[in-house]
Amino acid sequence: MLAPAKINLALHVTGQRADGYHLLDSLVCFADIGDRLSVTVADEMTLTLTGPMAGKLTADADNLVLQAAHLLDPIKTAQITLEKILPVASGIGGGSSDAATCLRLLADLWHLPLPDPAAVLTLGADVPVCLAGGAARMQGIGETISPLSLPAFPAVLVNPGLSLSTPAVFQQLASKTNPTLQPPPTSLDHSQWLLYLKVQRNDLEAPAIALCPTIAEVLQALVQQSGCALARMSGAGATSFGLFETDAAARMAAQEIQARQPNWWVKPTRLA
């Protein structure tokens, strides 16, 4: 089963609770690329890692996939295989999407209901929205999810081969009480959504660039491509996305960026 990349089209940090958790107001959608998970019946709980990014992870107990499995049922067992395709710690919710997909697969395998939302939130702020599985406005610390209808956006995802610590990015944030999102469009008009997105922000982009200046180079590389309507960092980075007018333009842009930066992770996709 596909565990799709999660993209923050906009991410506003609107406050911080007394317990340290940050309050967010974010527009989330999903790509048509991601990791892949499968589960089978087994006599013991095991996690097998494959794929081009598998070397960045371990199959230890702190792996978010195993944490999700144990949250669903601490006793039952299964053989879980994770084909890791997305970059690790890259702002596109790979681990959260993997955990959500694991919950769905094991709930079906074990004939169990999914955990309640509060329990799911303990796995991470992005896990509930990944479990919901559709475009949404995500608020609070990740617990408030309002489904949205979005047009499909041809896009390019670019990661410069770097990982960022989310807590470190938040620590660099100059202001933690920023304005919320403006009300999203209610239509599926592509141009109207682009105009709307251009006046929203990712409040974590500037602090992430301060920690990882290469992100600014990625954004510039996207902006320079023909047909790029918007370039922005996703989540806490270091992956950025460019929205394009057509799938063909996105594919051409991806080829051009990859040719110039062969060590970067570059993927054309569709966001919806």
**Interstrand relation of 79-83 and 46-50 (parallel, antiparallel or unpaired):** parallel
Tally of domains within the chain:
2
Rounded Cα distance between 5 and 93, Å, is 6
pLDDT score recorded for residue 205: 98
19 is catalytic: no
- Does 173 share its domain with 245? yes
* Residue 100, domain member (yes or no): yes
Rounded Cα distance between 58 and 61, Å, is 9
- Does 18 share its domain with 95? yes
Give backbone dihedrals phi and psi of 2, rounded to 5 degrees, phi first: -70, 135
Cβ distance 192 to 153 under 8 Å? no
- Does 68 share its domain with 115? yes
**Interstrand relation of 2-16 and 240-244 (parallel, antiparallel or unpaired):** unpaired
Q: Which of 102, 207, 213, 107 is nearest to 162 (CA)?
A: 213
pTM for the complete prediction? 0.96
Q: Domain end: 72, 100, 132, which one?
A: 132
pLDDT score recorded for residue 128: 97
- Does 156 share its domain with 74? no
- Does 198 share its domain with 241? yes
Residue corresponding to tokens 């100059």: 174
pLDDT score recorded for residue 78: 98
| 128 CB-near residues (< 8 Å, 6+ apart) | 117, 120, 121, 138, 142, 143, 145
Strand-pair partners of 121: none
CATH number at residue 202: 3.30.70.890
6 is catalytic: yes
- Which entry of 25, 98, 126, 203 is annotated as an active-site residue? 126
* Residue 127, domain member (yes or no): yes
**Interstrand relation of 153-159 and 22-40 (parallel, antiparallel or unpaired):** unpaired
pLDDT per residue of the chain (272 residues) written in tens, 0 to 9: 999 999 999 999 999 999 999 999 999 999 999 999 999 999 999 999 999 999 999 999 999 999 999 999 999 999 999 999 999 999 999 999 999 999 999 999 999 999 999 999 999 999 999 999 999 999 999 999 999 999 999 999 999 998 899 999 999 999 999 999 999 999 999 999 999 999 999 999 999 999 999 999 999 999 999 999 999 999 999 999 999 999 999 999 999 999 999 999 999 999 98
- Does 191 share its domain with 96? no
pLDDT score recorded for residue 163: 87
CATH number at residue 38: 3.30.230.10
- Does 127 share its domain with 162? no
Domain span at residue 266?
A: 149-271
pLDDT score recorded for residue 157: 98
Residue corresponding to tokens 């970059």: 87
- Which entry of 6, 35, 98, 267 is annotated as an active-site residue? 6
Rounded Cα distance between 21 and 70, Å, is 24
| 169 CB-near residues (< 8 Å, 6+ apart) | 204, 207, 208, 211, 236, 237
